[in-house]
Amino acid sequence: MISVGVEEEFLLLDPVTGLPVAQAEQVQAAARLQPPLGDRELSPELLQAQVETATPVCRDLSEVGGHLLRLRHATGVAAEKCGCRIAACAAAPFSCGTPVPVADSPRYRAMREQAPRLVEEQLINGMHVHVGVEDRRTGVAVLNRIRPWLPVLLALSASSPLWCGADTGFASWRTLVFGRWPVSGPPPHFADADDYEERCRTLLGTGTIRDLGQLYWHARLSERYPTVEVRVADVQLRCDDAVMVAGLTRALVATALHEEERRLPQTPPPGELLAAATWHAARSGLGGNLVDPRTGAARRAGDVLGSLLDHVAAALDEAGDTREVASLVHRLLREGTGADRQREALRRGPLAVVDLVTRETVSG
C-alpha cells in the first residue's frame, strides 16, 4: 500500500472575539506535557498565531483519521490551557488589526524582512498530503500527471471565504493570498527529474527565494521525505473531510503511477489554462462550473467531481477506500464545502463563525 501522511496548519483564536492570538509558544509548551503528542508532531508556523501538526507515516485511511483526530484533540486541549482555541479554517475570518509577530526563527525573520506586508497577511492555513514515491524520477512523472487535477482538489477543499469579517467573494481566499509569493500556484510541466532539479537550482540562484521550502507550487517533491507533497488544499474544518482529501490525493498519485508504468500518453495542459482553472476553482469552489481537466471546457462542478472519482476509481478500489471516500464526497455535495458553511455562519453573526470553526475542528 502506498504510504500517506498529512500536515495540518491551525489558527489560534480568541474564543470570544475570534481574533488571532500570538500563543504558539505557550501552546507548544503546554502540549509537551501531554503524552498523546510526540516531539515532532506539533511545530510552529510562520506567525505566532499558527501551529502545524504532522501525522506519522500511514498505510490506510482509518490510520490517517485516527492520527488527525488525536492530534487535533491534543492540540485543542493545549490551546484551551492557554486561553485560546485552535481553528482549522484556511484564512483568519477576523484578521484586520494589530499584526501578529513571526515565530522566533531566522528563516521566518528573513521572510519578514523580504516581504513584510505579505508576511503580515499570511494568516492562512493549508493541508499538505505526502504520498510515498520510489524516487525523484518517479516523483516528477507523478507531478506531471496529477497537475491537471489539482484545481479540482482545490475546489472541493475550499474553506477560506472570509477575511476582515467580510465575505471575499472567493471560496479559497488562501489561494489568492499565497499566490502573491514569487514561486507559487500550479507547478510547471517538467521534462524529467534533471529538469526539475535544474529549475530549482536556477530559482535559488536568483536570490528571489531563500530555500527550496519557498517553492510554493501546489504540488512539489519533498526535500525531507521520499514523497510527492500536494499542497493545494485548504485545511479542512472537519477531520473526516481531511481524510477524504487525503484519500483522493493518494488515489491520484496511485493512478499516475499506474499510467506511468503503462507509459500511457499525456497531453500537458497549457500553463495559462491551468492558471485560469485554478483561479476559477478558488473563486467558485463547488458552487458553479469547473474547468474539466480532460477537455479544458467548463462543466458543472458536480460533473467534474464525478470525473475525478471515475479517474481514480481503480486506485480507490485497490486501497479499499472507495466506500469511505465516495460517501464523504456525496456528503460534500449535499452539505457544501467549508467555505459554504462559513458563509452560512456569517449570516448568523461573528459569534456563529467563531463557534463553527473552533467546534468543528475538534469534533469527531
Instruction: Return the pLDDT at 39.
Output: 67
Low-confidence ranges of the chain (pLDDT < 70): 39
3-state secondary structure of 106: helix
Instruction: Return the pLDDT at 95.
Output: 80
292-298 long-range CB contacts below 8 Å, 24 or more apart? 293/148, 293/149, 293/151, 293/152, 293/269, 294/148, 296/269
Helix 271-284 / helix 150-157 crossing angle, nearest 10 deg: 10
Q: Which three cell numbers stand for residue 116?
A: 513584510
Q: Which three cell numbers stand for residue 269?
A: 495542459
Task: List, for residues 111-155, the tens digit of each pLDDT value.
Answer: 999 999 999 999 999 999 999 999 999 999 999 999 999 999 999
- Domains in the chain, CATH or no CATH each: 4-358 (3.30.590.20)
Measured between alpha carbons, how far is 109 from 128 in angstroms, rounded to an integer? 23
Instruction: Return the pLDDT at 96.
Output: 77
From the CB of residue 83, how many other CB atoms can be counted at a distance below 10 Å?
12
Measured between alpha carbons, how far is 152 from 291 in angstroms, rounded to an integer? 8
Instruction: Return the pLDDT at 98.
Output: 75
Instruction: Return the pLDDT at 285.
Output: 97
Instruction: Return the pLDDT at 31.
Output: 87
Q: What are phi and psi of 333, to 5 degrees?
A: -65, -30
